[in-house]
Structure 1
Amino acid sequence: MKIILGIDPGANTGLAVVAFPKGKAQLLDRRTIRTKPREPLPERLATVFRGVVLFIQTYRPDIVAVEGMRTWMVRAGGVKSTVIQAQFHGAVLAAVMHARPPGCQVQIIPPPRTRWSGRGRTRTVGLATKEYARRVCETYFGKSDLSEHEADAAVLALAARKEQK
């Protein structure tokens, strides 16, 4: 049974572990690693690093799918916000490379590819809303209580599975 860990990096990092027994997607676990904005940035980065490492050590995924950065635009919060987002992204990638089991593939999936069509294909144009990702999770997993970060991470796992076919 293939296990895929999807990760939506950020100050609140979403994690979702999806298994595919008999080809059907099954959500095994999900979590949002929340950091406190008032904490020093190094502490927040360490919190995300430790949380990602723990999840990888617990589930030993075959594939880790990380949402890529939108390098073509400055985030709505400006340059400072974009730089901070990049630091969280780096902490996630460092944790993945540190903790991944032997043979584990790492995929960085560009943000537009993370949106799932519901017909077995990924959408490659435009950026879907966080609400769209939640609806996909409700359709595939019967779960409507995922945080926006967990939903994005679960959709990343679905997109990574599609890349394997």
Structure 2
Amino acid sequence: MERTRAALGRACLDTVFLHNPERTGDPAVLPIVLREAFAVREEAATAGHLSTYGIATWSGFTEGLTTVEELDRLATEAAGSPDHRLRVGQLPVSLVEADVLELALDSRGPIGEAAEHGWQVFVSAPCTAVSSCGQRLTILPRCCGRGCPSHRPACWQPPHVQE
């Protein structure tokens, strides 16, 4: 984070994501790795170098490797208090990865759970899908008749957090 702060010329970063922690290898060590990473981020926040942090996961929620409840518990342990700075989640949502949206309509799944905690949710790859042979397809721009920057995540905030 120090290099990022220096490169950006910022004393305090708005949000830092922990990307794809599910790729640590052994699912049994994932909670340990997350708690340690959250502790480092909590220390940075206490020092005034970071406002919030989040987790960006491609498959952590869909493969059952973690939940918002578990992340909240680990962040609480890392901070020593429920007043932690874990406030953001990012996960893939697209025409192919629509299961989380179905669950969210009933206030369930990672998006519904994040809303209950007042987290912001960013979606990755909202305008793309992957075919069965792994080829990247850009579907939504064709359907809507206009382009969509698939490399830029969309953001959804729970209604009680929106400004």
TM value normalised by structure 2: 0.35
Larger helix proportion of the pair = 1
Q: Could you say which structure has the larger radius of gyration?
A: 2
Per the normalisation by structure 1, the TM-score is 0.34
Q: Which has the higher contact order (CA 8 A, sep 6+)?
A: 1
